[in-house]
């Protein structure tokens, strides 16, 4: 039976300074991978690196604005230099601005598209260039894109965010097809996380209550729980475990898939 052992592999996690990204980085490290924390939040990123190193993991911080093509080139080069290769890229960085469509702010919508969609697309681009035959890593690998249950349900207040996460779903499938067709040896999959009580998830509950969509923050959270067959919110380790699975040889014949990690909310 294939295990989730990632010993000898190197991973880059965007948005790894906090929240889901930090949890995913920790899970990859626990499975044996060396990890680069890629983020614009240098202080938080360095703190996450130190917490990983305290467990005996090999970890580095790389500064990365995921919307900047040249920054991706530098971050991948730095990762390969520091960790000795690149086998796993987790495109986790994302932003969410809650708004009713009637009050849509074009600048906020553009920012979500840039970070969530363009940032993920650039992550796939540079993963392919590094991991494909002849690339500086050149051994193939795994890309895991982080979509959202918002891609599969209609939840008020997050229209553009939902659209960006639906875009990640389509991007993932086309990327998997291109990688297979061109012989890159890179599997590309995504997960759809449930609402998780990270800083972003907590802010969403507050924002939707302030918009009058729910009578209170507690009511917003309870609505999500009520919509979830397993009867609870997601936890960071739920999402992190799914990433480790998709990055591992246990998923060696899985590509172009979207894995719901939502307690059944989106079914």
- Render the burial of 127-136: b for 16+ CB within 10 Å, e for the rest: bbbbbbeebe
Q: Say how many C-beta atoms besides its own lie within 10 A of residue 139's C-beta.
A: 15
For the question of residue 161 being annotated catalytic, the response is: yes
C-alpha 175, offset from chain centre: 16
For the chain, what is the radius of gyration of the CA atoms? 18
- Render the burial of 107-125: b for 16+ CB within 10 Å, e for the rest: ebbeebbbbbbbbbbbbbe
Q: Treating both helix axes as pointing N-terminal to C-terminal, what angle do 42-53 and 19-30 enclose, rounded to 10 degrees? A: 20
Q: Which class for 183: exposed (0-12), middle (13-18), buried (19 or more C-beta within 10 A)?
A: exposed
Query: Are the CB atoms for 48 and 18 separated by under 8 Å?
Result: yes
Give me the residues paired with residue 60 across strands. 36
Catalytic residue among 4, 161, 184, 192: 161
* 3-state class (DSSP) for residue 139: coil
Q: Treating both helix axes as pointing N-terminal to C-terminal, what angle do 119-131 and 69-83 enclose, rounded to 10 degrees? A: 40
* CA-wise closest residue to 127 among 180, 62, 258, 135: 135
Q: Give catalytic residue positions.
A: 161
């Amino acid at each position: 039976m294939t295990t989730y052992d990632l010993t000898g592999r190197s991973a880059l996690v965007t948005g790894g300074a906090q929240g889901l990204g930090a949890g995913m980085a920790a899970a990859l490290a626990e499975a044996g991978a060396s990890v680069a924390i890629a983020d614009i939040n240098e202080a938080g990123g360095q703190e996450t690196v130190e917490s990983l190193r305290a467990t005996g993991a090999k970890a580095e911080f790389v500064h990365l604005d995921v919307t900047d093509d040249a920054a991706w080139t530098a971050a991948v080069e730095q990762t390969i230099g520091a960790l000795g290769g690149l086998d796993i890229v987790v495109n986790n960085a994302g932003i969410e601005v809650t708004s009713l469509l009637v009050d849509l702010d074009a600048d906020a919508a553009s920012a979500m598209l840039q970070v969530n969609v363009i940032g993920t697309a650039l992550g796939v681009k540079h993963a392919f260039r590094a991991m494909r035959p002849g690339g500086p890593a050149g051994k193939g690998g795994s890309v895991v894109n982080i979509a959202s249950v918002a891609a599969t349900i209609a939840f008020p207040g997050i229209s553009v965010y939902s659209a960006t996460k639906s875009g990640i779903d389509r991007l993932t499938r086309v990327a998997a097809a291109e990688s297979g067709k061109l012989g890159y040896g890179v599997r590309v999959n995504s997960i759809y996380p449930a609402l998780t009580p990270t800083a972003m998830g907590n802010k969403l509950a507050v924002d939707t209550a302030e918009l009058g969509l729910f009578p209170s923050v507690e009511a917003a959270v309870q609505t999500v729980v009520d919509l979830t067959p397993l009867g609870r919110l997601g936890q960071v380790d739920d999402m992190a475990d799914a990433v480790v699975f998709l990055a591992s040889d246990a998923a060696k014949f899985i590509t172009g898939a979207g894995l719901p990690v939502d307690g059944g909310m989106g079914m």
